[in-house]
């Protein structure tokens, strides 16, 4: 018998599974996407758009984080070179 999501520390709320998955995704990025794999129903047009848009948002967030990390690394390298005279 499969374990309930709450047994894994996943609290799903809402009357519809898709609403619960979307809520979970917004609270914990990528969690809803992971759980979406277990969704057995067909996605309606609005749900498909939500998940496609969400994947794009996550890609943009990842890219922004990479840019920020590159900036931090460049600043750190500059600090290691010492003051310019």
Backbone angles phi, psi at 11, to 5 degrees: -95, 110
Closest alpha carbon to 27 in 12, 39, 44: 12
pTM beyond 0.95, yes or no: no
Q: Which position has the higher pLDDT, 20 or 3?
A: 20
pLDDT at position 40: 81
Tokens of 38: 């277990």
Residue 16 has pLDDT above 90, yes or no: no
pLDDT digits (tens, 9 = 90+) for 18-68: 888 999 899 999 999 998 888 888 889 999 999 999 999 999 999 999 999
pLDDT at position 80: 57
Q: Which position has the higher pLDDT, 6 or 22?
A: 22
CB atoms within 10 A of CB 48: 11
In the structure, what pLDDT confidence band is assigned to residue 12 with cuts at 50, 70 and 90? low
């Amino acid at each position: 018998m499969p374990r309930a999501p709450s047994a894994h520390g996943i609290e799903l709320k809402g009357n519809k599974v898709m609403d619960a998955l979307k809520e979970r995704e917004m609270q914990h990025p990528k969690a809803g996407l992971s759980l979406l794999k277990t969704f057995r129903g067909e996605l309606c047009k609005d749900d498909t758009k939500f998940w496609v848009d969400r994947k794009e948002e996550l890609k943009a967030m990842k890219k922004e984080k990479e840019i920020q990390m590159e900036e931090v690394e460049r600043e750190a390298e500059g600090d290691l070179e010492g003051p310019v005279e």
